[in-house]
A and B are shown apart, each in its own frame.
Chain A
Amino acid sequence: MSEEKTHIVPYKTQVIVLFVLLILTGITVAVTRLEFGALNTLIAMLVAGIKATIVLAWYMHLKYEKRLLPMLVAGVVILFLLVLFVTFFDYSYR
């Protein structure tokens, strides 16, 4: 039942992805030493989000899948963020 040929990711792409991830790790550690106040956490989460997206897209092959899976993953992330948001309806206003 193989409707489509599986995509083979070249080794080179995978090494490049690793380097990007390592650079981003370096950035997030370096940013900790700077003083941005509350922005620090935001930057850290933003960098982590970018790293996660890269892992999902390349290492977890979402880039090469049909549309269904990326949509489901996005849906789950949105669901989680909504739960977090609704929970803070309570904690932000106590």
Chain B
Amino acid sequence: MESPTKPISYLDYKGEYKGILGWIFSTDHKRVGLLYLYTMLAFFSVGAILGLLMKIQLIAPGYTIMGPQTYNSLFTLHGIIMIFIIVVPGLPAVFGNFFLPIMIGAKDVAFPRINLLSWWLYAVGILIVLTSQFMGDGPPDTGWTFYAPYSFQTATNVLPAVFGAFVMGFSSILTGINFVVTIHRMRAPGMTWFKMPLFPWTLYGTAWIQILATPVIGITLLLIIAERTLGIGFFDPALGGDPILYQHLFWIYSHPAVYIMILPAMGVISEIIPVFSKKTIFGYKAIVLSTMAIAFVGYFVWGHHMFTSGMSGRALFAFSFLTFLVAIPSAIKVFNWVSTMHKGSLDLQTPFYWAVSFLFVFMIGGLTGLVLGSLATNVHLHDTHFVVAHFHFIVFGGTGFAFMGAVHYWFPKMFGRMYDANWANLGWGIFFIGFLALYLPMFYLGIMGMPRRYYDYLPEFHGGNIFSSLGAIVLIAGLMIIFINLVRSARHGTKISEKNPWGGTTLEWQVDTPPTLENFEEIPTITGKPYDYN
């Protein structure tokens, strides 16, 4: 046992392994969360640089710095990294692992060893994906969607990329199982379902999607592997297969996966906004129910990715209708957040800036989603830059902004140090401007008809692309300020031991800073509701 006087922080704890081994073999949920964080930051940097390279290529028509084949493999790798390595595990794997047990008053997740295993599977999956870049026939050029029949016709290394994604799917499933069991079995005494904070609630919805949707991509990727190695013919028109069936299977997972990305982001925003408005969250139950509604309805809208691929007319109509339906619970949440801020005493700090800018970009992303969900406009906009702008507003603007907000919100608790607020705010400002400059012109370019996934474009699109590419450079500059500030502060920032620097009401603000090895010396008993500011 540790010293009887003062329980030791999880950062200083010395287990049976020392140094880095003490991290990669640690089953402590907080260390596993940080392992995910470091892995993600490393690959996010790679993915962002790939994005920047693509934007530099697009700064002028024709060959700027790369040819078509390089461009194809760059957007494929950019997609695989950003989707499978960053945003799908994203918030649940980092902040879910770190804060879910603390927020519900538990000492760890239900299966700590499986939790560590899921990080290992994730790491192995990444390594397998990376081999696809360096082996024989060149990096894959299919896009992250691996659409059939091209994915089994191209000579490039599709196999390792697909197999790596399959292994990471396992990791995602294990995280989901862990969270559902943790929430069902390990809530502190007195914490009934409707006294649970909202971030755990969104993690709960997310975990169910991870459990129920990820196996679909698992089997779909296995089918692609079988198709490439054995030539079975499931998706090969020459053998009677239907390539559209591949798209069905792929999107049965990959659309719910969008909700795996965005639901926990909504949870983070629901945590940040009441704390910095010093006000109880408006419509707690509405947020909970809309979360579960999104998780459920989101399972049946996959067809809106396939409006131009040749589905039957009735299917088009059904999917368009369901897509409009799923927008309702998202809008309910936005109303809740805005109402929470109404007449609150706003505390303008870095996490709050991220949360408010999240609302802004998320609304643009959501409303343009409806433009794409309507059949008539979709036919015009399908596979143009409008789509690229839309999903970057949702995935980068939604999940990415919430991720940044979460980092700045929980940073002092995680590291026991404070970052430099001025640099953090400056980084946010530059990043935000860069973001809008980068993606807003893409809506326009898309409406004018500039297709996605081409390394070249017609001269009339030049103006918008210059604007967009310069935005990318600004965005990267903002990102660098943010990262350097965070990395420096994690090592040299002012030490704080205050338990509750922001005045939050959830349980993570009642434990030590940084948390002790077992989070709670005594499991608390919950009596009141979360977000009680009265």
Q: Are A86 and B312 in contact (CB under 8 A)?
A: no
Decide if B299 touches A91 in the complex (CB within 8 Å): no
Does A89 contact B312, Cβ atoms closer than 8 Å?
Answer: yes
Stretch of B95-103, B273-281, B313-321 lying at the A interface: B313-321
Cα(A83)–Cα(B298), bound, Å: 12
Q: Flag if A89 contacts B252 (CB, 8 Å).
A: no
Min CB gap B320→A, angstroms:
12
Tell me the residues in window 42-94 of chain A with beta carbons closer than 8 Å to chain B beta carbons: 68, 76, 79, 82-83, 86-87, 89-94
**Given A87-B248, A90-B248: A79 and B314 within 8 A (CB)?**
no
B212 touches A (CB below 8 Å)? yes
Q: How far is the CA of A76 from the CA of B300 in the complex (A)?
A: 14
**A90 adjacent to B303 (CB under 8 Å):** yes
Bound together, the chains give a CA A82 to CA B296 distance in angstroms of 11
> Which of chain A's residues have a CB closer than 8 A to the CB of B315?
86, 89-90, 93
Most buried by B among A76, A82, A90, A93: A90
Residues of A within 8 A of B300 (CB): 82-83, 86
CB of B420, distance to nearest CB on chain A (Å):
46
Q: Check A83 against B312 for contact (C-beta < 8 Å).
A: no
Residue of B nearest to A92 (CB): B312
A92 to B313, CA, bound (A): 11
Decide if B311 is an interface residue (CB 8 Å cutoff).
yes
Separation of A17 and B313 alpha carbons in the complex (Å): 47
Size bin of chain B's contact surface? 10 to 19
Residue of A nearest to B212 (CB): A79
From DSSP, what is the main secondary structure of chain B's interface residues? helix
Chain B residues with Cβ below 8 Å from A87 are 248
- In the complex formed, the residue of B with least CB distance to A87 is B248
List A contacts of B314 (CB < 8 A). 89-90, 93
Inter-subunit contact A93/B312 (CB<8 Å):
yes
How far is it, in angstroms, between the C-alpha of A25 and the C-alpha of B134 when the chains are bound? 53
Interface size in chain A (residues, C-beta < 8 A): 13
> In the bound complex, what is the Cα–Cα distance between A82 and B303 (angstroms)?
14
* Residue in B244, B252, B312 with the greatest tally of chain A CB atoms within 10 Å: B312
Given A79-B212, A86-B318, are A93 and B313 also a contact pair (CB < 8 Å)?
A: yes
For the complex, what is the distance from the CA of A83 to the CA of B300, rounded to whole Å? 7
Main secondary structure of the interface of A (DSSP, over half): helix
Write out, one digit per residue, whether chain A residues 11-37 have a CB within 8 A of any chain B CB (1) or not (0): 000000000000000000000000000
- Chain A residues near B311: list those with CB within 8 A: 90, 94
Q: A89 near B318 (CB under 8 angstroms)? A: yes
Q: Known contacts A79-B299, A83-B252, A83-B299; decide if A90 and B312 are in contact (CB<8 Å).
A: yes
Within the complex, the shortest CB–CB distance from B110 to chain A, in Å, comes to 12
Contacts of A91 in B (CB 8 A): 312
B contact residues around A94 at 8 Å (CB): 311-312
| A89 surroundings in chain B (CB, below 8 A) | 312, 314-315, 318
Interface centre among A82, A86, A92, A94, by most B CB within 10 Å? Answer: A86
Distance in angstroms between the alpha carbons of A22 and B336 in the assembled complex: 57
Cβ–Cβ < 8 Å partners of A68 in chain B? 184
Inter-chain CA distance A91–B315, complex, in Å, is 9
Q: A86 — which chain B residues lie within 8 A by C-beta?
A: 300, 303, 315, 318
Alpha-carbon separation in the docked complex, A94 to B314 (Å): 9
Chain A nearest CB, measured from B144 CB (Å): 22
A92 to B311, CA, bound (A): 10
Distance, CA A93 to CA B319, complexed state (A): 14
A70 CB to closest chain B CB (Å) equals 15
Chain B residues near A79: list those with CB within 8 A.
Answer: 212, 299
Contacts of B252 in A (CB 8 A): 83
- B212's partner among A76, A90, A92, A93 (CB-CB below 8 A) is A76
Q: B311-350: contact bitstring with A at CB < 8 Å (1 yes, 0 no)?
A: 1111100100000000000000000000000000000000
Q: A79-B212, A82-B300, A90-B315 are in contact. List 6 more A-B contacts (CB 8 A).
A: A82-B299, A83-B252, A83-B300, A92-B312, A93-B315, A94-B311
The 9 residue pairs across chains A and B that have the minimum distance between CB atoms: A93-B312, A90-B315, A89-B315, A93-B314, A90-B311, A94-B312, A89-B318, A90-B312, A86-B300
- Mind listing 12 A-B residue pairs with CB under 8 Å? A76-B212, A79-B212, A82-B300, A86-B318, A89-B312, A89-B318, A90-B244, A90-B314, A90-B315, A93-B314, A94-B311, A94-B312
